[in-house]
Amino acid sequence: MWEEVASGAQKERPQLQQALDSLRVGDTLVVWRLDRLGRSLSHLIETVGLIESKGAAFRSLTEGIDTSTPTGRLVFHIFSSLAEFERELVKERTLAGLAAARARGRVGGQPAKITPAKARQILRMLEDGTPKTEIAAVLEIGRATLYRHLAEASD
C-alpha cells in the first residue's frame, strides 16, 4: 500500500510511480478521489490507460468508478470521450484563429533575421571576399543564421 503526500497537481510523484510500476495483472489501484491521481483529465486518462495496459483495474472511492466493472468502464470511457471532444474543439478553435489571423495579413513566428536588403549585402560582401565571421558581425546576425541563409539560398 502506498500513500502519496504530494499534491495531484505535482509532476514528480514517487509514490504513485512506485505503485504504477508494481501493478500486476488482476491488481486494482484504489484512490480516494479522482483528483488525487491526475493533474488534468488528460493526465488522468493517460494514467488509467497505463493501469489497464498492465491488466490491472482502477477504482476511485469518492466517485464510485471501478474499471473492473462494465459500468465503471463505461463511466470512465465517457470521461475519456468528453476529454477527446474538448481537445478537438480547442484544436478547431486554434486553427480557425490562425486562419483568421492569416486572412488579416498576420504571419506567425519571429520576423526574418535576414531581410532582402541584408541578403543583397551578404552577396556583395561575399563577392568582395569578406570572411563569413565578419559578415555575421557586421550585420549583427549569428554565424549559424548566416550559414543557414547561405544553405537555403543555394537550394
Angle between helices 70-103 and 41-53 (to 10 degrees): 130
Residue 35 DSSP label: G
H/E stretch holding 154 reads helix 143-154
Record the cell numbers describing residue 139, joined without a space.
550585420
Mean pLDDT, residues 92-120 taken together: 89
Alpha-carbon separation of residue 53 from 26, 67, 130 (angstroms): 11, 12, 62
Has residue 11 got a pLDDT over 70? no
The CATH homologous superfamily for domain 1-82 is Resolvase, N-terminal catalytic domain (3.40.50.1390)
Domain residue extents for the chain: 1-82, 116-150
Q: What confidence tier does 112 reach under pLDDT thresholds 50, 70, 90? A: confident
111 or 18: which leads in pLDDT: 18
